[in-house]
Homo-oligomer: A and B are copies of this chain.
Amino acid sequence: MTDFMNEYCMHTATCGELRKADVGREVVLTGWAWHNRDHGGLIFVDLRDRTGYAQVVVDPDCVSAEDFDTAEHLGREYVLKVAGTVRERSAEAVNPNMATGEIEVLATSVEVLNTSVTPPFAIEDGIETDETTRMKWRYLDLRRPEMYRSLHLRHKVAQAMRKVLNEHGFLEVETPILANSTPEGARDYIVPSRPNPGKFYALPQSPQQFKQTLMMGGIERYYQIAKCFRDEDLRADRQPEFTQLDVEMSFVEQEDILSLTEDVMAEVLAAAGVEHEFPLPRMSYAEAMERFGCDRPDTRFGMELVDLTDIVKDTGFKVFSSVAASGGVVKAINAKGAGDWSRGEVEKLADVAAENGAKGMAWVAFTTDGQEKSPIKKFFTDEEWTALKQAMDVEPGDLVLFAADTYAVASAVLSALRLRMAELLNVPREGHSLLWIVDFPMFKYDEEEKKYAAEHHPFTQVRKEDLDKIEDDPLACGSYSHDLVMDGYEAGGGSLRIHSAELQRRVLRRLGLSDEEIDDKFGHLIRALELGAPPHGGIALGLDRIVMLLAGKSSIRDVIAFPKTSSASDPMTGAPSAVTARQLKEVSLRTL
């Protein structure tokens, strides 16, 4: 890693650093014994540390009888300290698949620093061991090179982020973990407070209010690699505690936030050895919804949504024409390569559609032998059919999947189908794609609650040109918010914030809050805005997710040292444990 890796420790070299140029060097290595072979009177030990493997040769002529005996009885994962001399391997012993494959270390002494019982799984990459077992012995799992690489990558990503932010005068400021519940958002973890019976801290879902307060406090440029908490169920890409790079800056326009973030991401990608062009492409929220049906499109492949509403609005297929007549849309995707799928296979996709709110799923298969199979073709005129095929740009081997519903439902259905088809068809999604989604609406209408809600959050700045629409045409109000999308995941999100107390009141009123409710829930914020709050904004980047994508892993648990798992019984990674009787009594008393 650096020249100082061998300072302040027992070893004078790391196993993985040795090369042909080191031949003749006397070294002391430490590490774990993995393979241990007896060959022609010599003992060969593969010694592993976090940097790699080195082959150690123990020759009875070069070590004491005691040390040779030690070497003969080494077990897997024994911890060793080996002194010796680096020498070139004989031509036939060179291992081109090993970074240190041209050399070996001829031992002059072998010392066992610790023994080991036989580990329950192999300490190597690509094991098939189930996750429960890996989590139970997480320390053994972490010794596997691929786990070390993930944690090392995470380290490098964090340092890259800090480097750019430090250079730009950002101050790393810690905000509290023991905080207070905020009115918005997901479910809080709450923490009973001993000296305050019946009162609780809440673990922050994000440092949003703290970072805005820091801007009001004149810090001007803040960042933190911050732990955030949501009391939600586990998923492959979600943990109850997660980490984000949290950034806030004063005296900025939205453009400044995007540019700074791109500087950060350029450094992050460079640290991970990933190439990407900058500046990043930008797409409006409307365009993303139109073309991909979602606001975090994976743009590494096509299969975009096509709007057929105009073409089918008068068709005899009533499902389509009635949706068009009632203000809905008919859209479709063309899944190339699925044209020969059986009816049964195709119909199974209807489950995906249904999960996303569709009442049914129409389809047309264009087989490679030139047939057109579809339950709906008969309802169309030739002109409509030809126009539809042209719009979908079909050829033999294509499968066209339709959604006819409200704009929101049709988008959700086709977005999900698009991703599922990419998966089922193994559509190549090489490399990484990053882009900005911008021009989000400020408000959305919550059909269930029958009121307006904030699309991002209620502290988001309304677009200058839309300020007079807040009261009368809220859905036409744009906002200065931005999402960073990476490989189809939301890698970050943020906005310019409201810094005017009056505007903040107008937005909160539009969300249905009375002046009393505003004072009660947001009085602190309003008061702060009235006391010289500067224009400010920021972003939060999902560190776990970015590292997961850069590491090429499919689970966030592979880039966190001690993730939560629902199954593991290990106290380091498992579910919460029962508390002692004393603790339980204290809590019971406190919650009364």
Could you list which residues of chain A lie within 8 angstroms of chain B, going by C-beta atoms?
1-2, 4-5, 7-11, 30, 32, 49-50, 77-79, 81, 113-117, 119, 137-143, 147-148, 151-152, 154-155, 158-159, 162, 166-169, 171-178, 180-181, 187-196, 198-203, 209-210, 213-214, 216-220, 227, 229, 231, 233, 240-241, 243, 249-253, 256-257, 259-260, 499-500, 524, 528-535, 560-562, 564, 570-572, 574-580, 583-584, 587-588, 591
Bound together, the chains give a CA A29 to CA B303 distance in angstroms of 49
- Interchain nearest-CB distance for A36 vs B (Å): 13
Bound together, the chains give a CA A256 to CA B10 distance in angstroms of 9
Instruction: Contact check, A155 vs B180: say whether CB atoms are below 8 A apart.
Output: no
What chain B residues lie within 8 Å of A198 (beta carbons)? 578, 584
Bound together, the chains give a CA A137 to CA B217 distance in angstroms of 9
Residue of B nearest to A214 (CB): B561
Instruction: Contact check, B30 vs A251: say whether CB atoms are below 8 A apart.
Output: yes
Contact of A50 among B199, B218, B256 (CB under 8 A): B218
Contact A533 B177, CB 8 Å, known A252-B8, A575-B193? no
What chain B residues lie within 8 Å of A180 (beta carbons)? 571-572, 574, 576-577
- Interchain nearest-CB distance for A15 vs B (Å): 11
Instruction: Contact check, B194 vs A191: say whether CB atoms are below 8 A apart.
Output: no
Contact of A116 among B152, B531, B575 (CB under 8 A): B531
Copies of this protein chain in the complex: 2
The 4 closest A-B pairs by CB, nearest first: A142-B217, A116-B532, A77-B532, A139-B216
What chain B residues lie within 8 Å of A189 (beta carbons)? 178, 191-192, 201
Bound together, the chains give a CA A578 to CA B578 distance in angstroms of 25
A–B pairs, 9, beta carbons within 8 Å: A8-B168, A9-B256, A139-B531, A142-B214, A143-B217, A175-B561, A178-B229, A193-B231, A200-B587
Instruction: Contact check, B209 vs A561: say whether CB atoms are below 8 A apart.
Output: no
Bound together, the chains give a CA A10 to CA B155 distance in angstroms of 33
Residue of B nearest to A252 (CB): B9
- Contacts beyond the supplied A8-B260, A190-B191: 15 A-B pairs with Cβ under 8 Å: A1-B169, A4-B168, A8-B257, A9-B250, A114-B500, A119-B531, A137-B531, A139-B214, A147-B217, A155-B172, A193-B576, A200-B583, A213-B562, A227-B227, A591-B591
Bound together, the chains give a CA A578 to CA B577 distance in angstroms of 25
Instruction: Contact check, B187 vs A148: say whether CB atoms are below 8 A apart.
Output: no
Which of A32, A172, A529, A560 has the most CB atoms of chain B within a 10 A radius of its CB? A172
Instruction: Contact check, B166 vs A159: say whether CB atoms are below 8 A apart.
Output: yes
Contact A572 B151, CB 8 Å, known A178-B564, A564-B178? no
